[in-house]
Amino acid sequence: MQEAVASAYSRDSSAEEIARAVDLTGKLAVITGGAAGLGLETARALALAGADIFIAGRRPQVVAAAAQKLSETGQIVHSAVLDLMSVESVDAFADAVLALERPVDMLIANAGIMACPLQRTAKGIESQFMTNVVGHAVLLSRLARALAQSDDGRFVSLSSTAHHMSPVHFDDIQFERRPYEKWSAYGQSKTGNVLLAVKAAKALGPKGVSCFALHPGMIRTELSRSLDDSDLTQFSSTTAEGQPVADLFKDVPRGASTSVWAATSPALRGKGPLYLEDNKVAELLTKPARYHGVSAYALDPESADRLWTEIETIVERELPL
């Protein structure tokens, strides 16, 4: 795992710069959380490269405005409301994508929530795990056949270096027996995002689908809306190497670049599972680090299989790939 792949890009490359190197005419990109922040910039860059776009978001007015903005690229733009806390909403969105009766060339699981106060679904599923992991797993299952119909299908799962904060605690995923801690919950969900790519690669790789997880970088977007002053103090500190944490932040165009690289790079065709950062394959670590690399537990195939089984139990149905 984590085999090196040649890349002409760096952490300072923009999404648009990377998209300019490819022709995506006739391709379809499906992007959750595509109405704002990194998702919107990812969609814009892919559209400028010729892709048709299907974006999803929670707020109808925001989704409609984003679709209108993206249509200025001249590409076909579809949009729909999607609430990843609801399996019924995921199914409705998947139905809308499948109704197009065309391959899905890129499925980018971009949407997410971070470090929220404890919330649960009606069935008791913690909100970060439900939104970031379970909802995307259901969508991946529903669109798996359409991905396999592409001649270069890509599944891209946005994770974070926050996965170093926690593996998936299979003995108590929903914080029923341990105190809820919002960063541990977020870290667990981001490990789950990597494991989704591992599971997808095992099932869909033989069908021609390349599968990746990635850390987009530290970017100030709406994702941080739940943070308070005590959370923000960490950004004035330094890394273990003495680098100011503030220096690690990217703007949105650079933050979206690794998603575009994962979704389009010819060098990544047929690869995966791989965890990417800064438009390259990340270092595989033997112990967690806070700001770079991927922990081995996030790439463990047995954990990926176990996670998928847990998700099927949560949604009370099989999720074929």
Question: What distance in Å separates the CA atoms of residue 236 and residue 233, rounded to the nearest whole number?
Answer: 6
Q: What is the mean pLDDT of residues 212-238?
A: 67
Task: Give the Cα separation of 318 and 309 in Å (integer).
Answer: 9
pLDDT in tens, 38-55: 999 999 999 999 999 999
**Does 149 fall in a domain?**
yes
Whether the predicted pLDDT of 216 surpasses 80: yes
232: pLDDT strictly greater than 90? no
Asked if residue 119 is part of any domain, the answer here is yes
* For residues 287-308, average pLDDT: 94
Is residue 208, in this structure, part of any structural domain at all?
yes
pLDDT of residue 248: 76
Please compute, for residue 86, the number of CA atoms within 13 A of its CA located in the half-sphere on the CB side: 11
For 101-157, what is each residue's pLDDT tens digit? 999 999 999 999 999 999 999 999 999 999 999 999 999 999 999 999 999 999 999
Average pLDDT, the chain: 94
pLDDT at 12: 96
Contact 199, 168 (CB under 8 A): no
For residue 296, the model assigns a pLDDT of 96
- Count how many domains the chain has: 1
Question: Mean pLDDT, to the nearest integer, of 284-298?
Answer: 91
Q: Is residue 2 part of a domain?
A: no
Q: Please tell me the predicted confidence (pLDDT) of residue 1.
A: 76
Give the pLDDT of residue 247.
67
**246 pLDDT above the threshold of 70:** no
**Is 153 in contact with 201 (CB distance < 8 Å)?**
no
Checking if the pLDDT of 183 tops 80, the result is yes
Is 295 part of any domain?
yes
- The per-residue pLDDT for 265 is 98
Q: How far apart are CA 277 and CA 9, in angstroms?
A: 11
**Cβ(268)–Cβ(212) below 8 Å:** yes
Please report the pLDDT score of residue 234 as a whole number: 54
SS (H, E, C) the chain: CCCCCCCCCCCCCCHHHHHCCCCCCCCEEEEECCCCHHHHHHHHHHHHCCCEEEEEECCHHHHHHHHHHHHCCCCCEEEEECCCCCHHHHHHHHHHHHCCCCCCCEEEECCCCCCCCCCECCCCCEHHHHHHHHHHHHHHHHHHHHHHCCCCCEEEEECCHHHHHCCCCCCCCCCCCCCCCHHHHHHHHHHHHHHHHHHHHHHHHHHCCEEEEEECCEECCHHHHHCCHHHHHHHHCECCCCCEHHHHEECHHHHCHHHHHHHHCHHHCCCCCEEEECCEECCEECCCCCCCCEEHHHHCHHHHHHHHHHHHHHHCCCCCC
Q: Is position 116 within any domain?
A: yes
- pLDDT band of 240, cuts 50, 70, 90: low
Does residue 230 have a pLDDT over 80? no
Lowest mean pLDDT among 91-100, 199-208, 232-241, 260-269: 232-241
pLDDT of residue 251: 95
Distance CA 195, CA 197 (A): 5
Q: Which two tokens stand for residue 225?
A: 């809306």
Residue 233 has pLDDT above 60, yes or no: no
pLDDT at site 165: 95
pLDDT at 223: 55
What pLDDT, on the 0 to 100 scale, is given for residue 288?
Answer: 78
> Is 37 inside a domain boundary?
yes
Q: Which of 9, 180, 186, 275 is catalytic?
A: 186
- Is 9 a domain residue? no
> Is the model more confident about 304 or about 228?
304
Residue 80 confidence (pLDDT) above 90: yes
Q: Residues 248-276: pLDDT tens digits? A: 789 999 999 999 999 999 999 999 999 99
pLDDT at 307: 98
Active-site residue 186, yes or no? yes
Domain residues for 242? Answer: 15-310
pLDDT grade for 291, boundaries at 50, 70 and 90: confident
In angstroms, the CA 296 to CA 273 distance is: 12
pLDDT value at residue 257 = 98
Q: What is the CATH classification number for the domain harbouring 56?
A: 3.40.50.720
In the chain, how long is the greatest CA-to-CA distance? 52
Q: Tell me, what's the pLDDT at 117?
A: 96
